[in-house]
């Protein structure tokens, strides 16, 4: 293959940054507390967006930030080796918001779709989860407004049968997920204020967490990383267009193909397409 035929593979310099998340057992409330600062994930998202032809408007980027933060905290609260994907379809603004998290790989990824979005009467939150040696679990709930954290809280309440609550900090990107380990009648989480729980956490981490009733459990590093590459994209595109090659290329020598998970752009030449098709035929 000549250099002119070499497909363009989007890359960024350096390795993805890792965001640190920690989990604690909160003895007084018999609850799991997960906390972390997803700012490194946001930084890598911003670098990734610079490689794309177009970037979403600021409102959609902020919603994507919130979704990645919620997914990160949620994923750390779940057993290892589980994988998750959430897709939210809205009518105002008209968009699909996608985020995915992998406890197996300790990665999160997400993107926004603004083209070819179906009209809906109500917002729809579609969740998928996959455990080892199990079938994909699907769940759908209707959502309102633009508060990503409230969507996830509703999803956990209705589909996971688990009450959770998110807390965010005004002056930073830090977040907390609180998940009771035992069901209680009184709505104790609703009475908690973000300032008080962040102060408890700060005091505990500055001294000895055990003295404040917090038992350290786990520490995880999560990064923004799709894991897409040319062969994976070809494995998606070639089966779809193996009988409609002319429709895909329309007389051109190459076509731009978009990763469905992160929107990265790949230039696929006709030669590469046909070569991969031959490989798949065996």
Residue 246, token pair as written in the block: 């002319």
Q: Which residue has the higher pLDDT, 183 or 221?
A: 221
In the structure, what pLDDT confidence band is assigned to residue 177 with cuts at 50, 70 and 90?
Answer: very high
- The string of pLDDT tens digits covering residues 64-87 is 999 999 999 999 999 888 999 999
In the structure, what pLDDT confidence band is assigned to residue 13 with cuts at 50, 70 and 90?
Answer: low
Query: Any idea which fold 19-224 has?
Result: Hsp33 domain (3.55.30)
- The mean pLDDT value for 182-202 works out to 90
- The mean pLDDT value for 137-142 works out to 95
Using the predicted structure, report yes or no on whether residue 129 has a pLDDT greater than 60.
Answer: yes
The pLDDT score that the predictor gives to residue 3 is 34
Is residue 99 within 8 Å of residue 149, measured between CB atoms? no
Mean pLDDT of the chain: 91
The pLDDT score that the predictor gives to residue 81 is 87
Using the predicted structure, report yes or no on whether residue 116 has a pLDDT greater than 80.
Answer: yes
Ordered DSSP codes for 62-120: HHHHHHHHHHHHHHHHSPTT-EEEEEEEEETTEEEEEEEEETTTTEEEEEEE-SSPPP-
142 alpha carbon, distance to own chain's centre: 19
Domain ranges across the chain: 19-224, 228-281
Ordered DSSP codes for 33-73: EEEE--HHHHHHHHHHHHTSSS---HHHHHHHHHHHHHHHH
Using the predicted structure, report yes or no on whether residue 199 has a pLDDT greater than 90.
Answer: yes
- The string of pLDDT tens digits covering residues 221-259 is 999 999 999 999 999 999 999 999 999 999 999 999 999
Using the predicted structure, report yes or no on whether residue 14 has a pLDDT greater than 80.
Answer: no
- φ, ψ for residue 225 (rounded to 5)? -160, 115
- The mean pLDDT value for 156-166 works out to 92
The pLDDT score that the predictor gives to residue 179 is 95
Equal fold, 19-224 vs 228-281: no
- φ, ψ for residue 100 (rounded to 5)? -140, 145
The pLDDT score that the predictor gives to residue 4 is 35
Reduced to 3 states, what is the DSSP secondary structure of residue 123? strand
Q: Is the pTM value of this prediction over 0.85?
A: yes
Q: In the CATH scheme, what architecture does the domain 228-281 have?
A: Alpha-Beta Complex (3.90)
The pLDDT score that the predictor gives to residue 132 is 84
The pLDDT score that the predictor gives to residue 10 is 46
Radius of gyration of the chain (CA): 21
CA distance 198 to 192: 10
The pLDDT score that the predictor gives to residue 119 is 87
């Amino acid at each position: 293959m000549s250099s002119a035929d070499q497909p363009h593979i989007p890359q960024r310099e350096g390795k993805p940054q890792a965001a640190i998340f920690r989990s604690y057992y909160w003895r007084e409330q018999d609850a799991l507390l997960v906390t972390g600062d997803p700012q490194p994930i946001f930084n890598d998202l911003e670098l990734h967006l610079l490689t794309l032809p177009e970037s979403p408007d600021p409102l959609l980027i902020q919603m994507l930030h919130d979704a990645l933060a919620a997914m990160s905290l949620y994923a750390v609260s779940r057993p290892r080796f589980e994988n998750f994907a959430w897709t939210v379809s809205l009518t105002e603004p008209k968009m699909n918001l996608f985020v995915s998290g992998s406890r197996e790989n300790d990665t999160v990824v997400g993107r926004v779709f603004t083209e070819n979005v179906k009209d809906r009467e109500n917002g729809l939150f579609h969740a998928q989860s996959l455990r080892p040696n199990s079938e994909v679990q699907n769940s759908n709930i209707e959502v309102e407004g633009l508060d990503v954290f409230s969507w996830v809280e509703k999803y956990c309440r209705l589909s996971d049968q688990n009450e959770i609550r998110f807390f965010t900090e005004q002056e930073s990107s830090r977040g907390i997920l609180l998940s009771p380990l035992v069901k209680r009648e009184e709505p104790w989480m609703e009475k908690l204020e973000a300032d008080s729980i962040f102060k408890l956490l700060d005091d505990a981490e500055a001294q000895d967490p055990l003295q404040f009733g917090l038992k350290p459990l786990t520490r995880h590093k999560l990064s923004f990383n799709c894991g897409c590459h040319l062969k994976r994209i070809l494995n998606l595109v070639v089966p779809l267009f193996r009988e409609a090659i002319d429709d895909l290329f329309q007389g051109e020598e190459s076509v731009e193909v978009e990763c469905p998970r992160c929107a990265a752009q790949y230039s696929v030449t006709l030669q590469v397409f046909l070569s991969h098709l031959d490989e798949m035929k065996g």
